Structure 1
Amino acid sequence: MIKPKAIKKSIVLGTLTLLCLILSSCAAVSDTKVLYFAHSLPTSHPVHKGILDMQSILNEKSGGKLQIKVFPDGQLGSEREVLELLQIGSIAITKVSASALSNFAPEYQITVIPYLFRDDAHLWRNLEGEVGEQLLASGSEYLLRGLCFYDAGARSFYTKEKPINSPDDLTGLKVRVQNDQMSVSMANTLGASATPMAFSELYTALQQNVVDGAENNIPSFVTSNHFEVCKYYTFDEHTMIPDVVIIGTKFWDKLSDQEKNWLRAASKESVVAQKRYWKETIAEQMEMLKKNGVQFTYPNKEAFQEKSRPIMENMKKDPKMKAIIDKINAN
């Protein structure tokens, strides 16, 4: 017997699929091809602004022959639901965290290893080089082809009752993490009690003391209004997990070579603007958070790095993962 929850999920996915198929059929009336781009971020987010640049650049390069229509703010489902819709060919493009992709394409687990990237320069040397191209291509066998990486900054801990000055301060704290094994391992290894849950449920969970804190970047901390509940933000910067713009191969394979070139070029060029939007947003939001009573802590990262080191060593037991890690460390 199918459980009620499963029935509900099937109905939701079926409805979304039907909606997208209707939209796609409408777009096919003219000679213009329209790719539907769904994501879960609000329109104020710097990643959404980068997507709008991608939309504009693609329209210009193609002379309006290939266009993007953007559905932000989770209009067509959660990250996982939209990824599944890409796989069945109901939506063309989405933006997700690389950690979410690790549940579909294992190579993306690399991006969730704590302190793998030394700084921004090291991160982008790899993401915009051979390693990045390898990762973007790795999802193709799972029907998810990467187009580019967007800046999602560094993820750090934020808490309700006290600042985190060392890993010892995490002991006994229930910390919300993303629902992937690497994120769970990261929090547990550092001493917290990892609590996976949907991001949409986190504000209430913080209010009701279901969890004591969470970890994320500054823009997500702000746009979610978690700063209203958590007044301590610790810049331990344990991971630098990029966002990934991906297209379903069911759409990609139907594009002509010229259309693929337009889309690739537009996505890559939009990264430059998106990085700028990210930095500008961080500067503005830091000032706003200070005015709202958020206290920032800048701990010595060495203790966090040392305690989390077993995660990288364990990952290296897989020869394929070791080869990627070694390539990143050598870059």
Structure 2
Amino acid sequence: MKIKASLLCLCMIPFLFGCSNISKKTKTIKLAHGLDTKHSVHIAMLKMSDDLYKLSNGTLKINVYSSQQLGTERECLELLQIGSLEMTKVSAAVLENFAPKMKIFGLPYLFRDRKHTFDVLDGEIGQELLDNGEQFWLKGLGFYDAGSRSFYSKQNPIESPVDLKGLKVRVMESVSAMKMVSSLGGSPTPISWGELYTSLQQGVVDAAENNPPSFYLSRHYEVCKNYTLDEHTVVPDILVASTHFWNALTEQEKTWFNIAVKNSIGYQRDLWQKAEKEALTEVKKAGVTIIRPDKTLFSDKVQPIYDMVKNDKDIYPLIQRIKNSK
């Protein structure tokens, strides 16, 4: 019996070492973001992880960390820059602090409609914008749909820019967002997403602005009972990789990645449209008043912003190209 046991142990050694070698060949990639696990972006990232694992025969695996587990959007970008984190998802508004051309998305009423938006983002202009961060160690991989941003408030409904006068409005850490709110008469107040619910509750800010799914999933509708669909800006979410990580991949690994990313983006955009409808239905059930204002009252008021960027050699030509694109 002892001989048989010894033989069994000897037979198991190659198997154990084989398993060890397989695990060592798997590259584990950390992807962090600040959204809820029910958000369409998070769900699409899980699909990307599954697709990449299958495409790479198990050699590449993405672990997705949601809800600011690894830091705020800005902190995650800084981790990418030093190579301590491989990937993240951030709003284009936050990325503008690292890649200057991204401030184009802070300009209100830039896109005509959804089709125009994605024709631009998926084309030559979109690729130029994704490439803009590489000199800062940030590799843009693609644009997720984040819909249009609109105002929501605690007390009085916002039916025109006049109603924003004197209101402290939460904005992202974005100069463009601050200029936009200021031009409409509000007082822009940068606050991180994770702190916003409490800030609204405690009166640190009177209002905020975001898309319907984010308004719903964050439960901000529990505090703010007025949602004004002025749809002032289209600020996409951007999937970003650290160039330290990306440049270390083989060409084959990059190909697998690009396929998984493209599939993820298409999947998320389909989910997004359903999520928008669901969000508006649910917040209305919860007692939120949905206001559909005359958008020209808002778009006319922000025209001075465009005059201010006429001398910006990077941004103004980009505006003309976007507006002239079919």
TM-score using structure 2 length: 0.91
How far off is 1:316 after superposition?
2.8
| Superposition pairs of residues 94-105 of structure 1, within 5 angstroms | 94-105=88-99
Greater displacement, 173-182 / 98-107:
173-182
Q: Does the 8 Å CA contact 2:88/2:240 hold for their aligned counterparts?
A: yes
The aligned residue for residue 37 of structure 1 is: 31
| Superposition pairs of residues 307-326 of structure 1, within 5 angstroms | 307-326=301-320
State the AA in 1 paired with 2:263: E
Q: Distance in 2 between matches of 1:147 and 1:313?
A: 31
Q: Distance in 2 between matches of 1:203 and 1:283?
A: 22
Aligned to 1:188, which of 182, 187, 207? Answer: 182
Q: Distance in 2 between matches of 1:201 and 1:67?
A: 31
Q: Distance in 2 between matches of 1:178 and 1:231?
A: 21
Aligned to 2:212, which of 218, 231, 249? Answer: 218
State the AA in 1 paired with 2:196: L
**Residue 74 (structure 1) aligned with residue 63 (structure 2):** no
Q: Does the 8 Å CA contact 1:27/1:33 hold for their aligned counterparts?
A: no
Specify whether residues 252 and 164 from structure 1 end up closer, same or farther in structure 2 by C-alpha distance, changes over 3 A only.
same
State the AA in 2 paired with 1:142: F
The aligned residue for residue 86 of structure 2 is: 92
Aligned to 1:232, which of 220, 223, 226? Answer: 226
> Cα deviation per residue 1:102-159 (whole Å; 9 max; x = unaligned)?
0001010001111111111111010000111001111000000000000001000000
Equivalences, count: 306
> Cα deviation per residue 1:173-215 (whole Å; 9 max; x = unaligned)?
1111112111110000011111111222221221122211110
How far off is 1:66 after superposition?
1.7
Specify whether residues 28 and 330 from structure 1 end up closer, same or farther in structure 2 by C-alpha distance, changes over 3 A only.
farther
**Residue 280 (structure 1) aligned with residue 274 (structure 2):** yes
The aligned residue for residue 302 of structure 1 is: 296
Q: Distance in 2 between matches of 1:218 and 1:77?
A: 24
| Superposition pairs of residues 3-42 of structure 1, within 5 angstroms | 30-42=24-36
State the AA in 1 paired with 2:55: K
Q: Distance in 1 between matches of 2:299 and 2:83?
A: 41
How far off is 1:27 after superposition?
11
State the AA in 2 paired with 1:139: G
Q: Does the 8 Å CA contact 1:39/1:73 hold for their aligned counterparts?
A: yes
The aligned residue for residue 137 of structure 2 is: 143
Specify whether residues 206 and 28 from structure 1 end up closer, same or farther in structure 2 by C-alpha distance, changes over 3 A only.
farther
Q: Does the 8 Å CA contact 1:145/1:249 hold for their aligned counterparts?
A: yes
> Cα deviation per residue 1:292-313 (whole Å; 9 max; x = unaligned)?
1000001111111111112122
State the AA in 1 paired with 2:223: V
Q: Distance in 1 between matches of 2:219 and 2:22?
A: 40
Q: Kindly, what percent of the aligned residue pairs are identical? A: 48
| Superposition pairs of residues 250-265 of structure 1, within 5 angstroms | 250-265=244-259
> Cα deviation per residue 1:1-58 (whole Å; 9 max; x = unaligned)?
xxxxxxxxxxxxxxxxxxxxxxxxx999611222111111111111101111211221
**Residue 61 (structure 1) aligned with residue 55 (structure 2):** yes
Q: Does the 8 Å CA contact 2:216/2:282 hold for their aligned counterparts?
A: no
Corresponding residue SS for 2:150:
strand
The aligned residue for residue 238 of structure 2 is: 244
The aligned residue for residue 11 of structure 1 is: none
How far off is 1:166 after superposition?
1.0
Greater displacement, 200-209 / 68-77:
200-209
TM-score using structure 1 length: 0.90
Specify whether residues 28 and 236 from structure 1 end up closer, same or farther in structure 2 by C-alpha distance, changes over 3 A only.
farther
Corresponding residue SS for 2:302:
helix
Q: Does the 8 Å CA contact 2:72/2:192 hold for their aligned counterparts?
A: no
Structure 1 stretches of 4+ with a deviation exceeding 2 A read 26-29
State the AA in 2 paired with 1:160: K
Specify whether residues 27 and 139 from structure 1 end up closer, same or farther in structure 2 by C-alpha distance, changes over 3 A only.
farther
How far off is 1:257 after superposition?
0.7
Q: Does the 8 Å CA contact 1:114/1:312 hold for their aligned counterparts?
A: no
> Cα deviation per residue 1:215-245 (whole Å; 9 max; x = unaligned)?
0111111122110010000000000100000
